[in-house]
Structures are given as C-alpha cells and as structure tokens.
Structure 1
C-alpha cells in the first residue's frame, strides 16, 4: 500500500480498518483508493474510491463509509462541504450531497439512527469572491454541530454554542482527527469544550 494516510475508521460489524487521505493545506483535488485492512490476517485490499480531500471519515458499522470533503480549485474561493459515501461490498460510490459552505473540522456517523454529526468552526457566514473565508459579523459567533439525515441527505438541525477546533489538522481545509464522539443508544455526543480543556456534552 503506497502513499500516506491521515484518516482511519473501523467497521464494527467486521473489524476491518479503512484508511483515507486528509485534505492538504493548499489546493486539493482528486480521488484516492480506500485501503481495507484485515487486522487478523494483515491482508490489504481496496474497497473503492473516495475523495482525496477528506476533512472527516467514518463508517456506519453496516458496510458504508462516509467522508465529508471540501474540494477547492482555488485558495480564493470558499469551498462547499460535500458528504460522499461508498458501499464497501460493491466498491460503488453513492450520490454525494452538499451540506454547507466551509470545511468541516470533524464528523462522526451514527449508523443505528442514520445520522451524521459534523462540526464547523463558525456559522456559514457570507462568502465573497476572492476570499477563501467567510464574513461572520457577530464576533461572539461560536462553532456549530450540523446534524445530517443519512437517508435523505438533508441537514435536519444546526446547533450553536460549541468551541470547535481542528485538533491535529489544518483549518484551511478542516481538521484531521475524530473530535466528535457519539453514543447512538442515547443519541448523546461529546466534543472538546472551551480552551480544549473541557468536554462538551450534547444531545442530537
């Protein structure tokens, strides 16, 4: 398996580990093959192809991988986060859906209730041509958690009041670590809190 990978997740139904490439700091384009690793046999195969500009990467535990990517052809145009998915049994990608403007800093999938929870550092704001960031006039603006229905692709809820950071990755194209964790049985989530010294609990 050639190349470097910065994202991984485990399919809890099989124990297989999947790898993906995180978005680079600069211009990011293209797709990559997704390696599937069997930890017991150490056998590596390819599950299919996904974006090579992933901000976040998660398995639903039932055979589908999801990635939230923000592909940009210019550092002067603000990208749109797009949720893509891959059926690992067939290797076929499914239709992608646009989520919102701006790169995500974290995402996790609740396969039981069919939701994805994505973290963003600030409200969507207003985009301007020639700027890679948005204008947010409220200087008290906080980060947001965006709840996505995986069945329809719709954003069903946006929650504010979070201190969202990249936690290990560049915020030009989003974070590269799993900074959001969920308990599907109670629909409870956790992320980093103020100053990255606390844990913020929420319901989704």
Structure 2
C-alpha cells in the first residue's frame, strides 16, 4: 500500500484531494463523486483523475490512513496498564472517529460496494482487537464469552445509531449526536464479568416526548 513518489505540485494536489475526500465522505458518506471532491479541494477535475483514476482509488488511499489511525488507537489500548481501561479506551476513541466520519463507518461495517477490498486492513487490525479482548478476559475483567468480534459488532451497531441521529435535533437538547455514547456505557456494563456496580452514563436520557420527536424527524429538521 505504499504511495508512489510524486513531484511537489502533484504530491500537494494529491494531499488536497485526500483531505477534501475525507471531509466530504465524513459528512455525506461514500456516495460523493470524485468531481465533488475535486471542487471541494479547489483543483480541476482533470487533476483529480490524474491523481486517482476513479473514486475507489481515492477511497482506498483514505482508508489506508484510517487504518493507521485505528492501529494507533489499538496499540494505545494495549499499552494501558489496566486491561479494562484498554477496552474502554479502544471503544470510545474508535467510535468517536466513526461517529463523525460516515465514510469510515461505511467501510468498517462492510457497507461499501466491495468490502473485500479492505480485507488487508481487517487482517491487520483484527489481531489487535482480539488482543485487547483477550487481555481483559484473561485478567478477569471481561466476560468469559466475549471475544474481539463482539467488540467489532458493538461498534457496527453504535455507529449505525450515531449515523441515524447525526443531523437531527429535538427541543431542549444539544447532545443528540452523543446518544451513541450513552448506549456504549450501558453496553460496557454488560461486558463486565460481574455487575455489582454500574457506570455513570455520560449524557441524560431523552424524555418520551423527545424520543418520539427525534424518531419521527428527518435529518436537518428544526426542533419543534
């Protein structure tokens, strides 16, 4: 996955396209076109197609960087002295990125049209996720029946929740985009081998009226 060496102006344009692509994919998902990315980057469409022959090539290049970010998060989690803190750190930090980056969430959940293109990153990251889970389980801090794939699917579920409510609002609340964090902390208590104590949830619950308003609204709707 090494990037070819380019002359300075070509490398600069390539970087602008990578930054612009990630910004647009994060906001709108992978449906954004390469033309849209070129305009957002402030470069000509022809320049965009010289650097990336199609949108999938751009997505691949962005995903390389995303995988590097997740790998760094996992290594930090494995460096935590307390294995349970490693689990929490990994889930919180990786979910925070995916919650604000729709493109990354689509790729990691397999919702891209060719998920097999990203087998290399799964092969690279999965052993680290397994080690995070194994380490906590072997220390008696994680349920004996929970494995690394459970942590992955928990993220898939919560990023779906985050995406659903990303652009929505309800009257009296400014933390709707953080609802996934409340559900994460409920799930974290469920991952414990014993639950004598429960975690303080990071944001308050919605009222019934707020929940009805949120579930009945469309993205971008103003609160009633």
Q: TM-score, length-normalised on structure 1?
A: 0.29
More strand by share: 1
Q: TM-score, length-normalised on structure 2?
A: 0.27
More helix by share: 2
Rg (Cα) greater in structure: 2
